[in-house]
Amino acid sequence: MMGLRQVPAVLLSLFAAVTTTVAPIRFEDGRAPQFVTRTGRTARKYLPQTMGGGVAVFDYNNDGLLDIYVVNGATMPGLLKDGPQYSDRLFRNNGDGNFTDVTNMAGVAGQGFNIGVAIGDYDNDGFEDIFVAGVHRNTLYHNNGDGTFTDLTERAGLAGPDPQYGTLWAVGASWLDYDRDGLLDLFVVNYVQWDPKTEPVCEKRGLPDFCYPRAYQGVPNSLFHNNGDGTFTDVSPVSGIRQSIGKGMAVAAADFDGDDWPDLFVTNDTLPNSLFLNQRNGTFKEAAIENGIGFTENGAAISGMGADARDIDDDGRPDIFETALLNETMPLFRNLGQVGFEEITFASGVARASRAKTGWSNGIYDFNNDGHKDLFAACGHVMDAEGSLRATVPQTNIIFANLGNLNFAEVTAAAGVVLARRGVHRGAAFGDLDNDGRVDVVLTELDGPLRILRNVSPAANHWLLIRTIGAKSNRDGIGTRIRLVTEDGVQYNDVGTNVGYASSSDVRVHFGLGRRTLVEELELFWPSGTHQVLKNVKADQVLTVLER
C-alpha cells in the first residue's frame, strides 16, 4: 500500500499533466460595504474573541438581488454592560455593485457577542427570516415583508435558558424540515460551557493567548420543532440529539443515507464528529464512528471547524468537506452509501496544500462553471494575532479546482491577488451577488474589513441558477434534491442555506454547465415527496420552479 508521505508526491505529476486543461478560476475585489468584525480585544484573552465572524447572503426584500448580513462582537468581559457595543449590520444590494446600510431602518442591529447566522423562511410567508447565534443569547428576527424585522425570540420560545446548562453559547444553526411537515425546524450548534467570570488564563510562549478547547466542558446541541404558529418546541431530549455531548462548531444538513429524510453532520472541536441519522419518527441516531466520519483516516479526533455537504462526484450521494486546524488537513469524505464514508483527503490531493492552513468557513461550489464543484476555505489561525505566533496567524484563503475523478488541485495563487491576501479570516458566504452566473464570496476577518471576492473567472462557460418555491414543502424548498442532465452527463445538488462555519449562503441552487446551453432534463425531488421533471431548460438564467 502506498504510504501517506508518498501520496502527495505522486499526485504532483498528475496535477502537472491536467491543471492546464481546467478552466481558470479568478477573483477580484468587489465593492464591499464598510464594516469591521469587532472582537472586543483585551490584554486578557476570552475565547469568544477568536470565534466570531458569521456572515449571510440572502434576498431579504425579494428584489432578486442578494443582500448581506454580518454579525459582530461586543466588549469583553462584560458582553452586554461594559463599554461600547458593536452592532450587527444589514446591507442592501443596490444592483450596481454597491450596498446601502439599512440596519437601523430594518431593526436588526442586535446586541451582545454574536457568532453565527442562519437564514430561512420559517413561517412560509415568502420573506426570509434571520436567526442569530450568540454567546448566551440567540435572536430570531421575523421578516415583516416591508423592509423591517421584529425580534420574536421570546414569543417563539427560543429565549429561555437550558434547564441543565443555563445559558448556552451557540456558534451556528441550520434550518431544515426534519419531520417533512412543510415547516422549517431549527438545529442550533452549541460550543462549550463558558463564563467570563471563570475564564481560565492561558499563555503561549510566555504571552497571553486563547486557551485550548480542553480547558472547557462540552455541551449538547439543540433541536427546535416548528409548531406552525410562530413558536418552537425544544425537542432535543425526545429526538435523541441531547444525548450526545460535543463541542460543536458547524453543521451540514443533507440526506446522507439515501432514505429521503434529512440527516445532520456536526463538526466538534477536538472531539469526534457527530452524524445524526434521521430515524423518520422524530428521533435521530448518532452514528459517526460506525459510518467512518467520526475520526480522520489516521484515527484522530481533530479540531473540526466548518462543514459543507454536496455531491462532488455526482453519484447522487452528498459528500462532506470539513475544515480543521493547522497540521490536521481539511478532511474530504466520500459518501459510499449504505456502507458509510471513505476519507479521500490524501488521495484527492487536498491534504498536501491544506495541512499548512487553519480553515474556518468553507463551501463546495463550481466557481468556473465547468460542471465540477470546487472547494473553498477561509483561513486564519485560531491563536491571537498579537500573541507569540504573530505573523503566522493571518493566512491566505485556499481554493481547490475539481479536476474530475475525485482529484483536486490547489489554484489559490492563480486565482488572483485577493486570494493571496493574508488575514485572520473566519466567515464565508457564497452566492451570485450580481446575477452573472458566477458564484461570489463574502468574507469576514477578525478586527478587519468585510470583503467581497467577486468571481471574474474568464471561461465562457454556461450556468443555471434555480430558485425553488415550495407548496406542500417548506416555501424555500430546503431539502429538495435536484438532478440535472446535459449532453455531458448528470449533476446533483441540494437546496439549503447553511454552509461552512457560522455562515449562511444563497438559497438558490447553482449549476455550472460547461459548454452546454441546454439542460435536457431537470428533476426535482421535493421534501413533500413530490417528483417534478422539466425538459429542455435554457442555460444562463435564474429559473424559478414552483412545486406542483
Can you say whether residue 339 is alpha, beta or left, with left for phi > 0 and alpha for psi between -120 and 50 degrees?
A: alpha
Which residue ranges in the chain fall short of pLDDT 70?
1-20, 77-85
pLDDT score of 5: 32
pLDDT score of 13: 38
Here the cell at position 416 is 488572483
Please say whether the beta carbons of 85 and 471 come within 8 A.
no
Can you say whether residue 362 is alpha, beta or left, with left for phi > 0 and alpha for psi between -120 and 50 degrees?
A: beta
pLDDT score of 78: 59
Residue 219: closest CA among 302, 135, 154, 103: 135
pLDDT score of 84: 55
pLDDT score of 110: 87
Strand, helix or coil at 306?
Answer: coil
pLDDT score of 76: 81
- Farthest-apart Cα atoms in the chain, separation: 66
pLDDT score of 420: 87
